[in-house]
């Protein structure tokens, strides 16, 4: 019964956000999504989006099949609506599964629903970035498998996650900060680096060379030229987790060893956002859910020790 209640709550939370993001959007946003999808599958869009192929290449055959019975634009919207629902639901389930490594079912649910309540903050200020909804799930599953020493499964997950986005390299960072650095584990880690590099460069070879939207100078100017934009960005970052930011900071000393070790990756990831990311796009913080949520819960509850 508790499992059914859990699934009901998580699917409800996912359904609300997925519905808003699928159907309560304006026409220009729908067109931008369609253009973004087509640009990736036809290999004409800019970098780095052109190289984030997992979602568009997986969904395009389904869209084309559905377009036999409805207009292509409608098929595109319907298929992506299902994707948004399933990807958000999987995010919540994966996060809950990882949190259950340290907390009770109910305590883990508190963390997931707290994130779900502010998830709409991440869906602002961008049009087409479906890969961002998969990153937290990949990271959460990777952390579970690292704890379980399922290194072969982790290799397959890394392969798929790299097709989704280049940030899959942080899975390797999680591995190195949480396993003993003896000869065997270093060799396994080197294998992971080889997998990531092979997929990273193979996708770029297949998709072809592409110009970037922004260079570092343009990105920095875009982030800092407007005080109003800085205020909006800062407010969005705060509202993403609200009080959980404070709880996460206070939970570091009380968190299990494994959780504290994963927190070492957070500053590295944060630097990549501050240097290469657009600060208004709060979705860039989504992959840090598996780091921040267990830290916050460690302050609120007594975590099981490693």
Residue the block writes with tokens 């267990």: 294
Helix (H, G, I), strand (E, B) or coil at 281: coil
- Residue 13 confidence (pLDDT): 81
User: Cα(170)–Cα(271) distance, rounded to whole angstroms?
Assistant: 13
Choice between 214 and 54, residue whose per-residue pLDDT is larger: 54
Q: What sign does the dihedral 192-198-201-206 (CA atoms) show?
A: negative
Burial (0-12, 13-18, 19+ Cβ within 10 Å), 47: middle
User: What pTM value is reported for the model?
Assistant: 0.94
Chain-wide mean pLDDT for the chain?
Answer: 91
Average pLDDT of span 34-44: 93
Counting Cβ atoms within 10 Å, is residue 2 exposed (0-12), middle (13-18) or buried (19+)? exposed
Q: What is the pLDDT of residue 7?
A: 73
Secondary structure percentages of the chain, helix, strand, coil, to 5: 80, 0, 20
Mean pLDDT, range 186-206, rounded to an integer: 97
The long-range contacts involving 186-193, CB below 8 angstroms and separated by at least 24 positions, are 188/151, 191/155, 192/154, 192/155, 192/158
Residue 143 has pLDDT above 70, yes or no: yes
What is the C-alpha to C-alpha distance for residues 96 and 113, in angstroms, rounded to an integer?
9
* DSSP 8-state symbol, 44: -
Asked if the peptide bond before residue 53 counts as cis, ω within 30 degrees of 0, the response is: no
Rounded to the nearest angstrom, the gap between the alpha carbon of residue 248 and the centroid of all alpha carbons in its chain is 19
Exposure b/e, 169-189, CB count within 10 A at least 16 = b: bbbbebbbbbbeeeeebeebb
Whether pLDDT at 126 is above 80: no
Q: Is the pLDDT of residue 274 over 70?
A: yes
Mean pLDDT of 158-177: 97
- What is the Cα–Cα distance from 235 to 91, expressed in whole angstroms? 24
Q: How far apart are CA 179 and CA 189, in angstroms?
A: 10
What's the pLDDT at 23?
83
Domain assignments of the chain as residue spans, ordered by start: 2-212
User: What is the rounded CA–CA span in Å between residue 143 and residue 137?
Assistant: 10
């Amino acid at each position: 019964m508790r499992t059914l209640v859990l699934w009901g709550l998580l699917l409800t939370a996912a359904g609300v956000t997925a519905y808003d993001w699928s159907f309560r959007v304006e026409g220009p946003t729908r067109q931008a999504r369609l253009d973004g999808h087509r640009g990736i599958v036809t290999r004409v869009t800019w970098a780095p989006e052109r190289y984030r192929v997992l979602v568009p290449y997986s969904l395009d055959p389904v869209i084309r099949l559905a377009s036999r019975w409805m207009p292509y634009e409608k098929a595109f919207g319907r298929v992506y609506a299902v994707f948004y629902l399933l990807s958000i639901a999987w995010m919540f389930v994966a996060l809950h599964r990882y949190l259950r490594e340290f907390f009770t079912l109910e305590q883990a649910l508190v963390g997931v629903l707290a994130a779900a309540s502010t998830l709409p903050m991440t869906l602002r200020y961008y049009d087409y970035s479906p890969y961002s909804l998969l990153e937290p799930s990949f990271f959460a599953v990777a952390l579970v498998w690292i704890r379980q020493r399922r290194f072969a499964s982790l290799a397959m997950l890394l392969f798929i996650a790299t097709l989704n986005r280049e940030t899959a390299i942080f899975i390797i960072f999680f591995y190195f900060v949480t396993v003993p650095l003896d000869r065997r584990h270093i060799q396994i880690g080197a294998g992971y680096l080889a997998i990531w590099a092979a997929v990273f460069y193979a996708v770029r070879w297949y998709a072809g060379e592409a110009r970037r939207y922004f260079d570092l100078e343009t990105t920095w100017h875009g982030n800092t030229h407007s005080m109003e934009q800085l205020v909006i960005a800062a407010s969005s970052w705060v509202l993403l987790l609200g009080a959980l930011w404070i709880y996460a900071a206070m939970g570091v000393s009380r968190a299990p060893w494994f959780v504290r070790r994963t927190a070492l990756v957070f500053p590295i990831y944060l630097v990549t956002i501050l240097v290469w990311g657009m600060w208004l796009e709060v979705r860039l913080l989504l992959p840090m859910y598996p780091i921040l949520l267990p830290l916050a819960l460690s302050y609120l509850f007594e975590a099981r020790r490693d």
